[in-house]
Chain A
Amino acid sequence: MEIIQHYFSWQFKLFSRSIRHFGLPPVVGYALLALVVMVLPAVLWPQKTYFPWLYLAAGVLAMNPFRSDGRNEFLKICYSKREFLLLRTVENLLLVLPFSLVLLIRRQFLLALGLLIIAFFRGITANWNRKRMNLPALPTPFSKRPFEFAIGFRVSFPLILFLYYVVLMAVIHDNFNLGIVATYVVFITCMVYYCQMEPEYYVWLHDAQPKQFLFQKLKTAAIYAFSLVVVPIVALSVFFPKYIGFLVLAVLMGLLNLTVVILLRYTEFPKPFHIGDVMLLAACVICPIYPPLALLPIPLTFYLFGKAKKNLNNYL
Protein backbone atom coordinates (compact mmCIF):
# COMPACT_ATOMS: atom_id res chain seq x y z
CA MET A 1 0.00 0.00 0.00
CA GLU A 2 2.93 2.29 0.79
CA ILE A 3 4.36 1.76 -2.67
CA ILE A 4 1.02 2.62 -4.27
CA GLN A 5 0.68 5.74 -2.12
CA HIS A 6 4.22 6.88 -2.88
CA TYR A 7 3.92 6.16 -6.60
CA PHE A 8 0.64 8.00 -7.09
CA SER A 9 1.68 11.02 -5.05
CA TRP A 10 4.75 11.21 -7.29
CA GLN A 11 2.61 10.86 -10.45
CA PHE A 12 0.27 13.56 -9.14
CA LYS A 13 3.23 15.92 -8.70
CA LEU A 14 4.51 15.17 -12.23
CA PHE A 15 1.09 15.60 -13.79
CA SER A 16 0.45 18.86 -11.90
CA ARG A 17 3.81 20.11 -13.14
CA SER A 18 2.84 19.27 -16.73
CA ILE A 19 -0.40 21.22 -16.34
CA ARG A 20 1.55 24.17 -14.96
CA HIS A 21 3.97 24.03 -17.92
CA PHE A 22 0.99 24.03 -20.22
CA GLY A 23 0.08 27.42 -18.75
CA LEU A 24 -2.73 26.51 -16.37
CA PRO A 25 -2.92 26.36 -12.58
CA PRO A 26 -3.23 22.66 -11.68
CA VAL A 27 -6.63 23.17 -9.99
CA VAL A 28 -8.01 24.68 -13.19
CA GLY A 29 -6.42 21.93 -15.27
CA TYR A 30 -7.98 19.17 -13.21
CA ALA A 31 -11.35 20.95 -13.23
CA LEU A 32 -11.20 21.26 -17.02
CA LEU A 33 -10.31 17.61 -17.37
CA ALA A 34 -13.21 16.60 -15.17
CA LEU A 35 -15.49 18.84 -17.22
CA VAL A 36 -14.35 17.47 -20.58
CA VAL A 37 -14.07 13.82 -19.58
CA MET A 38 -17.03 13.42 -17.27
CA VAL A 39 -19.44 16.31 -16.91
CA LEU A 40 -19.94 17.32 -20.53
CA PRO A 41 -20.33 13.78 -21.92
CA ALA A 42 -22.66 12.82 -19.06
CA VAL A 43 -24.88 15.86 -19.61
CA LEU A 44 -24.71 16.18 -23.40
CA TRP A 45 -24.80 12.47 -24.24
CA PRO A 46 -25.65 12.41 -27.97
CA GLN A 47 -28.37 9.94 -28.86
CA LYS A 48 -26.32 8.12 -31.47
CA THR A 49 -25.74 4.38 -31.44
CA TYR A 50 -22.02 4.81 -32.02
CA PHE A 51 -21.38 7.39 -29.30
CA PRO A 52 -20.95 4.96 -26.36
CA TRP A 53 -18.35 3.10 -28.44
CA LEU A 54 -16.55 6.37 -29.24
CA TYR A 55 -16.54 7.18 -25.53
CA LEU A 56 -15.16 3.74 -24.72
CA ALA A 57 -12.44 4.31 -27.34
CA ALA A 58 -11.61 7.62 -25.65
CA GLY A 59 -11.23 5.76 -22.36
CA VAL A 60 -8.87 3.26 -23.97
CA LEU A 61 -6.86 6.05 -25.59
CA ALA A 62 -6.57 7.81 -22.22
CA MET A 63 -4.27 4.99 -21.11
CA ASN A 64 -1.91 5.34 -24.08
CA PRO A 65 0.31 8.20 -22.85
CA PHE A 66 1.21 6.04 -19.85
CA ARG A 67 2.23 2.98 -21.89
CA SER A 68 5.37 4.33 -23.56
CA ASP A 69 8.34 1.98 -23.67
CA GLY A 70 10.67 4.54 -22.09
CA ARG A 71 8.34 5.12 -19.15
CA ASN A 72 7.78 1.43 -18.58
CA GLU A 73 11.48 0.62 -18.83
CA PHE A 74 12.22 3.26 -16.20
CA LEU A 75 9.52 1.91 -13.86
CA LYS A 76 10.84 -1.64 -14.31
CA ILE A 77 14.22 -0.40 -13.07
CA CYS A 78 12.64 1.27 -10.02
CA TYR A 79 10.26 -1.50 -8.99
CA SER A 80 10.18 -5.28 -8.87
CA LYS A 81 8.18 -7.12 -11.54
CA ARG A 82 5.27 -7.70 -9.15
CA GLU A 83 5.20 -4.09 -7.97
CA PHE A 84 5.45 -2.82 -11.55
CA LEU A 85 2.49 -4.88 -12.73
CA LEU A 86 0.44 -3.90 -9.66
CA LEU A 87 1.14 -0.21 -10.16
CA ARG A 88 0.40 -0.25 -13.89
CA THR A 89 -2.83 -2.14 -13.35
CA VAL A 90 -4.06 0.21 -10.62
CA GLU A 91 -2.94 3.16 -12.75
CA ASN A 92 -4.93 1.94 -15.76
CA LEU A 93 -8.02 1.29 -13.67
CA LEU A 94 -7.85 4.79 -12.16
CA LEU A 95 -7.43 6.33 -15.62
CA VAL A 96 -10.54 4.65 -17.05
CA LEU A 97 -12.65 4.95 -13.90
CA PRO A 98 -14.19 8.34 -14.86
CA PHE A 99 -15.12 6.96 -18.28
CA SER A 100 -16.60 3.82 -16.73
CA LEU A 101 -18.64 5.88 -14.28
CA VAL A 102 -20.14 7.96 -17.08
CA LEU A 103 -20.94 4.80 -19.05
CA LEU A 104 -22.63 3.42 -15.92
CA ILE A 105 -24.64 6.61 -15.45
CA ARG A 106 -25.72 6.27 -19.06
CA ARG A 107 -26.72 2.64 -18.42
CA GLN A 108 -24.05 1.22 -20.74
CA PHE A 109 -23.22 -1.48 -18.19
CA LEU A 110 -21.46 -3.90 -20.54
CA LEU A 111 -19.27 -1.18 -22.01
CA ALA A 112 -18.41 0.13 -18.53
CA LEU A 113 -17.37 -3.35 -17.47
CA GLY A 114 -15.56 -3.96 -20.76
CA LEU A 115 -13.49 -0.83 -20.28
CA LEU A 116 -12.43 -1.91 -16.82
CA ILE A 117 -11.50 -5.35 -18.18
CA ILE A 118 -9.41 -3.79 -20.97
CA ALA A 119 -7.65 -1.60 -18.40
CA PHE A 120 -6.97 -4.58 -16.17
CA PHE A 121 -5.68 -6.68 -19.08
CA ARG A 122 -3.38 -3.91 -20.28
CA GLY A 123 -2.06 -3.56 -16.75
CA ILE A 124 -1.20 -7.20 -16.21
CA THR A 125 0.41 -7.42 -19.65
CA ALA A 126 2.45 -4.23 -19.24
CA ASN A 127 5.52 -6.41 -18.98
CA TRP A 128 5.14 -7.76 -22.50
CA ASN A 129 7.86 -6.63 -24.86
CA ARG A 130 6.20 -4.29 -27.31
CA LYS A 131 9.35 -3.43 -29.25
CA ARG A 132 8.83 -3.68 -32.96
CA MET A 133 11.86 -5.89 -33.48
CA ASN A 134 10.36 -8.00 -36.21
CA LEU A 135 7.85 -5.62 -37.70
CA PRO A 136 8.97 -4.14 -40.98
CA ALA A 137 8.70 -0.38 -41.28
CA LEU A 138 5.43 0.72 -42.86
CA PRO A 139 6.30 2.21 -46.23
CA THR A 140 4.93 5.68 -46.86
CA PRO A 141 4.85 7.92 -49.91
CA PHE A 142 6.26 10.69 -47.70
CA SER A 143 9.82 9.44 -47.16
CA LYS A 144 11.36 11.66 -49.83
CA ARG A 145 10.93 14.72 -47.59
CA PRO A 146 10.83 13.44 -44.04
CA PHE A 147 9.80 13.64 -41.32
CA GLU A 148 6.47 14.96 -40.01
CA PHE A 149 4.26 13.30 -42.61
CA ALA A 150 6.30 10.08 -42.76
CA ILE A 151 6.01 9.57 -39.01
CA GLY A 152 2.51 11.01 -38.64
CA PHE A 153 1.14 8.82 -41.40
CA ARG A 154 2.51 5.69 -39.71
CA VAL A 155 0.74 6.65 -36.48
CA SER A 156 -2.53 7.70 -38.06
CA PHE A 157 -3.00 5.54 -41.16
CA PRO A 158 -5.80 3.48 -39.54
CA LEU A 159 -7.64 6.76 -38.94
CA ILE A 160 -6.97 7.91 -42.51
CA LEU A 161 -8.32 4.62 -43.85
CA PHE A 162 -11.35 4.97 -41.58
CA LEU A 163 -11.97 8.50 -42.89
CA TYR A 164 -11.76 7.22 -46.48
CA TYR A 165 -14.37 4.62 -45.49
CA VAL A 166 -16.57 7.37 -44.04
CA VAL A 167 -16.32 9.26 -47.35
CA LEU A 168 -17.31 6.07 -49.17
CA MET A 169 -20.33 5.75 -46.84
CA ALA A 170 -21.15 9.40 -47.48
CA VAL A 171 -21.23 8.72 -51.23
CA ILE A 172 -23.29 5.55 -50.82
CA HIS A 173 -25.81 7.21 -48.51
CA ASP A 174 -25.86 10.48 -50.46
CA ASN A 175 -24.66 12.48 -47.45
CA PHE A 176 -22.35 15.26 -48.63
CA ASN A 177 -22.02 16.78 -45.14
CA LEU A 178 -20.55 13.58 -43.77
CA GLY A 179 -18.07 13.41 -46.64
CA ILE A 180 -16.86 16.96 -46.33
CA VAL A 181 -16.47 16.64 -42.55
CA ALA A 182 -14.42 13.46 -42.99
CA THR A 183 -12.22 15.25 -45.55
CA TYR A 184 -11.75 18.16 -43.17
CA VAL A 185 -10.79 15.75 -40.39
CA VAL A 186 -7.99 14.46 -42.64
CA PHE A 187 -6.60 17.99 -42.62
CA ILE A 188 -6.98 18.17 -38.83
CA THR A 189 -5.04 14.89 -38.60
CA CYS A 190 -2.27 16.44 -40.70
CA MET A 191 -2.22 19.40 -38.32
CA VAL A 192 -1.54 17.03 -35.44
CA TYR A 193 1.62 15.85 -37.23
CA TYR A 194 3.08 19.28 -36.53
CA CYS A 195 2.01 19.60 -32.91
CA GLN A 196 5.09 17.94 -31.44
CA MET A 197 8.07 20.25 -31.20
CA GLU A 198 11.23 19.03 -32.93
CA PRO A 199 14.72 19.13 -31.34
CA GLU A 200 16.79 22.28 -31.90
CA TYR A 201 19.41 20.22 -33.72
CA TYR A 202 16.88 19.28 -36.39
CA VAL A 203 16.21 22.93 -37.18
CA TRP A 204 19.86 23.97 -36.80
CA LEU A 205 20.85 21.40 -39.46
CA HIS A 206 19.13 23.37 -42.21
CA ASP A 207 21.29 25.32 -44.61
CA ALA A 208 18.58 27.89 -45.26
CA GLN A 209 17.39 31.32 -44.27
CA PRO A 210 14.30 31.38 -42.00
CA LYS A 211 12.02 32.47 -44.85
CA GLN A 212 13.30 29.68 -47.09
CA PHE A 213 13.00 27.15 -44.26
CA LEU A 214 9.38 28.12 -43.57
CA PHE A 215 8.39 28.10 -47.23
CA GLN A 216 9.91 24.64 -47.64
CA LYS A 217 8.00 23.31 -44.62
CA LEU A 218 4.75 24.88 -45.82
CA LYS A 219 5.20 23.63 -49.38
CA THR A 220 5.92 20.07 -48.24
CA ALA A 221 2.95 20.09 -45.88
CA ALA A 222 0.60 21.46 -48.53
CA ILE A 223 1.66 18.94 -51.18
CA TYR A 224 1.52 15.97 -48.84
CA ALA A 225 -1.76 17.00 -47.20
CA PHE A 226 -3.34 17.51 -50.61
CA SER A 227 -2.14 14.08 -51.69
CA LEU A 228 -4.00 12.60 -48.71
CA VAL A 229 -7.30 14.35 -49.51
CA VAL A 230 -7.22 14.06 -53.29
CA VAL A 231 -9.07 10.74 -53.28
CA PRO A 232 -12.00 11.93 -51.11
CA ILE A 233 -12.10 15.25 -52.96
CA VAL A 234 -12.32 13.58 -56.36
CA ALA A 235 -14.95 11.13 -55.09
CA LEU A 236 -17.09 13.88 -53.59
CA SER A 237 -16.68 16.07 -56.68
CA VAL A 238 -17.89 13.31 -58.95
CA PHE A 239 -20.91 12.35 -56.84
CA PHE A 240 -21.84 15.82 -55.55
CA PRO A 241 -20.89 18.14 -58.41
CA LYS A 242 -23.15 20.98 -57.23
CA TYR A 243 -21.13 21.24 -53.99
CA ILE A 244 -17.72 21.64 -55.61
CA GLY A 245 -17.55 25.21 -54.29
CA PHE A 246 -17.84 23.90 -50.71
CA LEU A 247 -15.15 21.33 -51.41
CA VAL A 248 -12.78 23.99 -52.64
CA LEU A 249 -13.52 26.02 -49.51
CA ALA A 250 -12.89 23.02 -47.29
CA VAL A 251 -9.52 22.39 -48.95
CA LEU A 252 -8.57 26.05 -48.62
CA MET A 253 -9.58 26.12 -44.94
CA GLY A 254 -7.68 22.90 -44.31
CA LEU A 255 -4.52 24.20 -45.97
CA LEU A 256 -4.84 27.51 -44.13
CA ASN A 257 -5.14 25.78 -40.78
CA LEU A 258 -2.15 23.62 -41.61
CA THR A 259 -0.22 26.81 -42.36
CA VAL A 260 -1.26 28.27 -39.02
CA VAL A 261 -0.11 25.26 -37.00
CA ILE A 262 3.27 25.14 -38.77
CA LEU A 263 3.90 28.85 -38.28
CA LEU A 264 2.72 28.68 -34.67
CA ARG A 265 5.13 25.80 -34.09
CA TYR A 266 8.11 27.90 -35.19
CA THR A 267 6.87 30.96 -33.35
CA GLU A 268 7.02 28.97 -30.13
CA PHE A 269 10.05 26.85 -31.07
CA PRO A 270 11.74 25.25 -29.15
CA LYS A 271 9.07 25.47 -26.43
CA PRO A 272 6.05 23.17 -26.74
CA PHE A 273 2.56 24.52 -27.35
CA HIS A 274 0.80 25.97 -24.34
CA ILE A 275 -2.88 26.45 -23.55
CA GLY A 276 -3.10 29.71 -25.51
CA ASP A 277 -1.75 28.02 -28.64
CA VAL A 278 -4.16 25.11 -28.29
CA MET A 279 -7.11 27.49 -27.94
CA LEU A 280 -5.97 29.43 -31.00
CA LEU A 281 -5.68 26.24 -33.06
CA ALA A 282 -9.08 25.06 -31.83
CA ALA A 283 -10.57 28.39 -32.90
CA CYS A 284 -9.04 28.01 -36.37
CA VAL A 285 -10.35 24.47 -36.68
CA ILE A 286 -13.93 25.33 -35.74
CA CYS A 287 -14.05 28.71 -37.47
CA PRO A 288 -15.62 27.35 -40.71
CA ILE A 289 -18.72 26.60 -38.62
CA TYR A 290 -19.01 30.28 -37.72
CA PRO A 291 -18.74 32.28 -40.96
CA PRO A 292 -17.59 35.53 -39.32
CA LEU A 293 -14.61 33.69 -37.88
CA ALA A 294 -13.84 31.80 -41.09
CA LEU A 295 -11.37 34.44 -42.21
CA LEU A 296 -9.47 34.38 -38.89
CA PRO A 297 -6.59 32.23 -40.16
CA ILE A 298 -5.70 34.69 -42.94
CA PRO A 299 -4.41 37.66 -40.90
CA LEU A 300 -3.10 35.19 -38.35
CA THR A 301 -0.91 33.60 -41.02
CA PHE A 302 0.80 36.90 -41.84
CA TYR A 303 1.27 37.75 -38.19
CA LEU A 304 2.69 34.34 -37.29
CA PHE A 305 4.97 34.25 -40.34
CA GLY A 306 6.74 37.39 -39.16
CA LYS A 307 7.12 36.07 -35.63
CA ALA A 308 8.30 32.64 -36.75
CA LYS A 309 10.86 34.17 -39.12
CA LYS A 310 12.22 36.34 -36.31
CA ASN A 311 12.41 33.41 -33.90
CA LEU A 312 14.21 31.16 -36.40
CA ASN A 313 16.94 33.78 -36.86
CA ASN A 314 18.36 32.45 -33.60
CA TYR A 315 18.85 28.99 -35.11
CA LEU A 316 19.41 29.39 -38.85
Chain B
Amino acid sequence: MIQLVEISKAFGSHVVLDRLSFTFEDNKVYGIVGKNGSGKTTLFHCMTGLESCKGEIVSERRPLKNHIGYLPTELFFYKLMTGMEYVQFVCNARNQKIENIAARNIFELPLNDYISTYSTGMKKKLALFAILLQDVPYYIFDEPFNGIDFQSSVLVFDIIKALKQRGKTVIMSSHIYTTLTQTCDEICLLEDGNFKQQVLKADFDALEKSMHQEIVGNALDLLG
Protein backbone atom coordinates (compact mmCIF):
# COMPACT_ATOMS: atom_id res chain seq x y z
CA MET B 1 0.00 0.00 0.00
CA ILE B 2 1.13 3.55 -0.73
CA GLN B 3 -0.69 6.21 1.21
CA LEU B 4 -0.42 9.86 0.16
CA VAL B 5 -1.18 12.25 2.99
CA GLU B 6 -1.76 15.92 2.12
CA ILE B 7 0.83 15.96 -0.65
CA SER B 8 1.56 19.49 -1.86
CA LYS B 9 4.04 20.71 -4.42
CA ALA B 10 4.53 24.16 -5.88
CA PHE B 11 7.05 25.56 -8.34
CA GLY B 12 7.44 29.15 -7.24
CA SER B 13 3.91 30.54 -6.99
CA HIS B 14 2.45 27.87 -9.27
CA VAL B 15 0.73 25.23 -7.11
CA VAL B 16 0.73 21.86 -8.87
CA LEU B 17 -0.41 19.53 -6.10
CA ASP B 18 -2.65 20.87 -3.36
CA ARG B 19 -2.96 18.69 -0.24
CA LEU B 20 -3.67 15.55 -2.23
CA SER B 21 -4.56 12.52 -0.13
CA PHE B 22 -5.15 9.06 -1.54
CA THR B 23 -4.33 5.42 -0.86
CA PHE B 24 -3.08 3.09 -3.57
CA GLU B 25 -3.94 -0.39 -2.40
CA ASP B 26 -1.92 -3.45 -3.23
CA ASN B 27 -2.69 -5.67 -6.19
CA LYS B 28 -4.69 -3.12 -8.13
CA VAL B 29 -4.19 -1.14 -11.33
CA TYR B 30 -4.77 2.60 -11.10
CA GLY B 31 -5.09 5.07 -13.94
CA ILE B 32 -4.46 8.79 -13.57
CA VAL B 33 -5.97 11.17 -16.14
CA GLY B 34 -5.75 14.93 -16.37
CA LYS B 35 -5.02 17.79 -18.71
CA ASN B 36 -1.50 18.71 -19.77
CA GLY B 37 0.14 20.40 -16.82
CA SER B 38 -2.34 18.99 -14.28
CA GLY B 39 0.49 17.46 -12.24
CA LYS B 40 0.54 13.77 -13.18
CA THR B 41 4.28 13.62 -13.71
CA THR B 42 4.90 15.80 -10.66
CA LEU B 43 2.78 13.42 -8.59
CA PHE B 44 4.84 10.46 -9.80
CA HIS B 45 8.07 12.31 -9.11
CA CYS B 46 6.91 13.07 -5.58
CA MET B 47 5.92 9.43 -5.00
CA THR B 48 9.24 8.14 -6.30
CA GLY B 49 11.30 10.75 -4.44
CA LEU B 50 12.61 12.45 -7.56
CA GLU B 51 10.95 15.63 -6.30
CA SER B 52 10.66 16.83 -2.75
CA CYS B 53 7.17 17.71 -1.53
CA LYS B 54 5.20 18.64 1.55
CA GLY B 55 3.02 16.05 3.22
CA GLU B 56 3.74 12.42 3.82
CA ILE B 57 4.04 9.29 1.73
CA VAL B 58 3.44 6.23 3.85
CA SER B 59 4.28 2.68 2.90
CA GLU B 60 5.28 -0.46 4.76
CA ARG B 61 8.16 -0.78 2.28
CA ARG B 62 11.17 1.46 3.03
CA PRO B 63 12.79 3.17 1.28
CA LEU B 64 9.86 3.21 -1.07
CA LYS B 65 11.87 4.27 -4.11
CA ASN B 66 13.76 0.97 -4.12
CA HIS B 67 10.48 -0.90 -4.41
CA ILE B 68 9.16 1.08 -7.37
CA GLY B 69 9.85 0.40 -11.03
CA TYR B 70 9.36 3.82 -12.60
CA LEU B 71 8.96 4.47 -16.33
CA PRO B 72 9.33 8.24 -16.89
CA THR B 73 7.64 9.92 -19.81
CA GLU B 74 10.87 11.63 -20.87
CA LEU B 75 13.67 9.17 -21.34
CA PHE B 76 17.37 9.90 -21.64
CA PHE B 77 19.80 7.53 -23.28
CA TYR B 78 23.46 8.00 -24.12
CA LYS B 79 24.04 7.82 -27.87
CA LEU B 80 26.88 5.32 -27.68
CA MET B 81 25.20 3.01 -25.20
CA THR B 82 23.74 -0.25 -26.48
CA GLY B 83 20.35 -1.55 -25.42
CA MET B 84 21.97 -4.44 -23.60
CA GLU B 85 24.23 -2.05 -21.66
CA TYR B 86 21.24 0.04 -20.60
CA VAL B 87 19.40 -3.03 -19.33
CA GLN B 88 22.57 -4.26 -17.63
CA PHE B 89 23.02 -0.81 -16.02
CA VAL B 90 19.46 -0.81 -14.63
CA CYS B 91 19.82 -4.37 -13.33
CA ASN B 92 23.18 -3.56 -11.70
CA ALA B 93 21.70 -0.42 -10.14
CA ARG B 94 18.89 -2.47 -8.66
CA ASN B 95 21.22 -5.28 -7.54
CA GLN B 96 19.40 -7.70 -9.81
CA LYS B 97 21.49 -10.50 -11.24
CA ILE B 98 19.57 -11.43 -14.38
CA GLU B 99 20.96 -14.31 -16.40
CA ASN B 100 20.55 -14.38 -20.14
CA ILE B 101 18.86 -11.01 -20.67
CA ALA B 102 18.72 -11.61 -24.42
CA ALA B 103 16.48 -14.66 -23.95
CA ARG B 104 13.93 -12.49 -22.11
CA ASN B 105 13.78 -9.85 -24.84
CA ILE B 106 9.98 -9.75 -25.11
CA PHE B 107 9.93 -6.71 -27.36
CA GLU B 108 12.53 -8.25 -29.73
CA LEU B 109 14.74 -5.21 -29.52
CA PRO B 110 18.17 -5.13 -31.18
CA LEU B 111 19.95 -5.07 -27.84
CA ASN B 112 23.45 -5.12 -29.32
CA ASP B 113 22.86 -1.95 -31.34
CA TYR B 114 23.42 1.61 -30.22
CA ILE B 115 20.32 3.15 -28.65
CA SER B 116 20.84 6.14 -30.98
CA THR B 117 19.62 3.90 -33.82
CA TYR B 118 16.36 3.11 -32.00
CA SER B 119 13.08 4.80 -32.88
CA THR B 120 11.10 6.64 -30.17
CA GLY B 121 8.89 3.61 -29.65
CA MET B 122 11.86 1.26 -29.39
CA LYS B 123 13.44 3.48 -26.73
CA LYS B 124 10.20 3.40 -24.75
CA LYS B 125 10.09 -0.39 -25.04
CA LEU B 126 13.72 -0.65 -23.95
CA ALA B 127 13.05 1.40 -20.82
CA LEU B 128 9.94 -0.67 -20.07
CA PHE B 129 11.83 -3.92 -20.61
CA ALA B 130 14.55 -2.85 -18.16
CA ILE B 131 11.93 -1.98 -15.54
CA LEU B 132 9.97 -5.21 -16.00
CA LEU B 133 13.10 -7.22 -15.24
CA GLN B 134 13.09 -5.74 -11.74
CA ASP B 135 10.96 -7.76 -9.39
CA VAL B 136 9.37 -4.88 -7.46
CA PRO B 137 5.92 -4.63 -5.87
CA TYR B 138 5.00 -1.26 -7.41
CA TYR B 139 5.17 -0.07 -10.99
CA ILE B 140 4.59 3.53 -12.02
CA PHE B 141 4.27 4.10 -15.76
CA ASP B 142 4.05 7.67 -17.05
CA GLU B 143 2.41 7.50 -20.50
CA PRO B 144 3.50 3.93 -21.28
CA PHE B 145 1.59 3.79 -24.57
CA ASN B 146 3.11 6.94 -26.06
CA GLY B 147 5.02 6.23 -29.25
CA ILE B 148 4.70 2.45 -29.30
CA ASP B 149 3.10 0.47 -32.11
CA PHE B 150 -0.19 -1.42 -31.94
CA GLN B 151 1.39 -4.86 -31.51
CA SER B 152 3.49 -3.63 -28.60
CA SER B 153 0.46 -1.89 -27.06
CA VAL B 154 -1.35 -5.24 -27.03
CA LEU B 155 1.69 -6.76 -25.34
CA VAL B 156 1.80 -3.93 -22.79
CA PHE B 157 -1.88 -4.52 -21.97
CA ASP B 158 -1.13 -8.17 -21.26
CA ILE B 159 1.95 -7.26 -19.26
CA ILE B 160 -0.08 -4.98 -17.00
CA LYS B 161 -2.68 -7.72 -16.49
CA ALA B 162 0.07 -10.25 -15.75
CA LEU B 163 1.65 -7.88 -13.22
CA LYS B 164 -1.67 -7.62 -11.42
CA GLN B 165 -2.06 -11.40 -11.44
CA ARG B 166 1.36 -11.61 -9.78
CA GLY B 167 0.18 -9.37 -6.98
CA LYS B 168 1.84 -6.17 -8.19
CA THR B 169 0.39 -2.68 -8.00
CA VAL B 170 0.46 -0.61 -11.18
CA ILE B 171 -0.13 3.13 -11.32
CA MET B 172 -0.11 4.73 -14.73
CA SER B 173 -1.10 7.82 -16.59
CA SER B 174 -2.29 8.03 -20.16
CA HIS B 175 -3.86 10.56 -22.46
CA ILE B 176 -5.59 7.71 -24.30
CA TYR B 177 -8.58 6.93 -22.11
CA THR B 178 -9.34 3.55 -23.67
CA THR B 179 -5.92 2.26 -22.66
CA LEU B 180 -6.90 2.90 -19.06
CA THR B 181 -10.44 1.51 -19.23
CA GLN B 182 -9.10 -1.78 -20.60
CA THR B 183 -6.57 -2.29 -17.83
CA CYS B 184 -7.44 -0.29 -14.72
CA ASP B 185 -9.48 -1.13 -11.64
CA GLU B 186 -9.81 2.52 -10.69
CA ILE B 187 -9.30 5.79 -12.55
CA CYS B 188 -8.57 9.11 -10.86
CA LEU B 189 -9.08 12.48 -12.48
CA LEU B 190 -6.33 14.91 -11.43
CA GLU B 191 -7.49 18.51 -11.61
CA ASP B 192 -6.50 21.69 -9.75
CA GLY B 193 -3.88 19.82 -7.77
CA ASN B 194 -6.14 17.11 -6.42
CA PHE B 195 -8.09 13.99 -7.40
CA LYS B 196 -11.43 15.54 -8.35
CA GLN B 197 -13.02 12.17 -9.13
CA GLN B 198 -12.11 8.58 -8.43
CA VAL B 199 -14.20 6.00 -10.22
CA LEU B 200 -14.35 2.23 -10.37
CA LYS B 201 -14.88 0.10 -13.47
CA ALA B 202 -18.65 0.45 -13.50
CA ASP B 203 -18.40 4.24 -13.79
CA PHE B 204 -15.60 4.52 -16.37
CA ASP B 205 -18.02 5.41 -19.17
CA ALA B 206 -19.75 8.03 -17.03
CA LEU B 207 -16.40 9.65 -16.24
CA GLU B 208 -15.49 9.72 -19.90
CA LYS B 209 -18.81 11.36 -20.74
CA SER B 210 -18.41 14.00 -18.04
CA MET B 211 -14.85 14.78 -19.15
CA HIS B 212 -16.00 14.98 -22.73
CA GLN B 213 -18.81 17.35 -21.79
CA GLU B 214 -16.45 19.56 -19.78
CA ILE B 215 -13.75 19.68 -22.43
CA VAL B 216 -15.83 19.87 -25.60
CA GLY B 217 -19.17 21.18 -24.28
CA ASN B 218 -20.68 23.49 -26.89
CA ALA B 219 -17.32 24.35 -28.44
CA LEU B 220 -18.15 22.67 -31.75
CA ASP B 221 -21.36 24.71 -32.06
CA LEU B 222 -19.22 27.88 -32.10
CA LEU B 223 -17.75 26.73 -35.39
CA GLY B 224 -21.18 27.10 -36.92
Report which A residues bind B (CB closer than 8 A): 69, 131-133, 135-137, 143-147, 150-151, 154-155, 199-202, 204-208, 314-315
Contacts and interface: CB of A to CB of B under 8 A. Distances in A.
B159 interface: no
Interface of B: 48-50, 52, 65-66, 70, 72, 76, 78, 80-82, 84-86, 88-90, 92-95, 112-114, 116-117
A64 B65 CA distance: 39
Given A146-B86, A204-B65, A151 B117 contact: no
B88 A146 contact: yes
Contact of B117 (A132, A155, A208): A132
Contacts of A205: 90, 93-94
Contacts of B117: 131-133
15 contacts: A69-B116, A131-B117, A132-B116, A137-B112, A143-B84, A143-B88, A145-B88, A146-B85, A147-B78, A151-B80, A201-B72, A201-B76, A202-B89, A204-B48, A205-B90
A273 B50 CA distance: 21
Contacts of B93: 202, 205-208
Given A201-B72, A207-B95, A147 B81 contact: yes
A137 B72 contact: no
A205 B65 CA distance: 8
Contact of A143 (B70, B82, B94): B82
B88 A155 contact: no
Nearest to A145: B92
A216 B66 CA distance: 17
A205 to B, nearest CB: 4
A269 to B, nearest CB: 13
Contacts of B82: 137, 143
Given A132-B114, A150-B81, A207 B66 contact: yes
Nearest to B48: A204
Q: Which 7 A-B pairs have the closest CB atoms?
A: A146-B85, A205-B93, A146-B89, A207-B66, A206-B93, A154-B80, A199-B76
